[in-house]
Amino acid sequence: SQQGEEDPQALSIQEGENATMNCSYKTSINNLQWYRQNSGRGLVHLILIRSNEREKHSGRLRVTLDTSKKSSSLLITASRAADTASYFCATVAGTASKLTFGTGTRLQVTL
């Protein structure tokens, strides 16, 4: 399977803390994306980082990409209860334009 790995599998933090989740993948990529999924719902695109980029920011999100280690991290700063969700990294490689998802991290933010 070409599926990426994410860690941790689950993360529980308090509101206001930062949350960091990591993604590793196996092949050369065009870009890496992060998606959020609220329980039992569809996925929402959060951020895309291209293979020639090392860091990207969007609001409270910071994504890094290390292509030499085939890894990425997503940092959510000043977390809120509404950030409670599953987070998936997904890579795009070659010309197929299909997403290869990581295993996901379940984030729980408590008040």
Q: Supply angle C-alpha 24, 91, 34, rounded to 5.
A: 85
CA dist 25 and 71 (Å) reads 6
Quick check: 26 binds another protein (CB under 8 A)? no
Q: Binding another protein by CB under 8 A: which of 11, 48, 61, 75?
A: 48
Please choose, from the candidates 75, 35, 28, the residue with its C-alpha nearest in 3D space to the C-alpha of residue 50.
28
Q: Are strands 31-37 and 43-50 parallel, antiparallel or unpaired?
A: antiparallel
Q: Binding another protein by CB under 8 A: which of 34, 104, 107, 109?
A: 104
Q: What mask, x for binding another protein by CB under 8 A, covers residues 52 to 81?
A: ------------------------------
The amino acid sitting at 93 is A
Q: Binding another protein by CB under 8 A: which of 7, 17, 28, 44?
A: 44
* Distance of closest approach, residue 35 Cβ to another protein, in angstroms: 8
Q: Which residue has the tokens 């695109």?
A: 45
Note the residues at the interface with another protein (CB under 8 A).
Answer: 3, 30-31, 33, 35, 40-45, 48, 88, 92, 96-99, 101-104, 106
